[in-house]
Amino acid sequence: MEETTNKGKNTGMAVVAYIFFLIPLLTEAKKDPFVKYHVKQGFVLFLAGLVSRIIIYIPLVGWMLLQPYNIFLFILFVIGVMNALGGKQKPLLLIGKFAEKFKF
């Protein structure tokens, strides 16, 4: 998906979608395509965070991979929030393509 810009009034809800993706779905913001886009990105980022809870149980290898993986997820979180604040709909690296498959 190409990057699009939307300077809408719901940038706050788009940012909230990265902190806890369910909150925007419980408000009127769920009708805004810009917010929905970031809810999907936030949901996939949340799922990727759950994967880190599984990685830790892999002996030795999991412990070595966990820290870089969590740093990568944090960087994606920051990029997502910055995109939302900037009014951009830009897919996150590696996980953005999965977010597009969800229908909310």
Q: Which tokens sit at 7?
A: 């300077």
- Helices 33-55 and 61-85 meet at what angle, rounded to 10? 170
Q: What is the pLDDT of residue 91?
A: 93
Write the pLDDT tens digit of every residue in 42-63.
999 999 999 988 888 888 888 8
pLDDT, residue 18, reads 92
Checking if the pLDDT of 7 tops 80, the result is: no
- Element at 68 (helix H, strand E): helix 61-85
The angle subtended at Cα 86 by Cα 80 and Cα 92, nearest 5°, is 25
20 close to 26: Cβ distance less than 8 angstroms: no
Please give the distance of CA 28 from its chain centroid, rounded to a whole number: 20
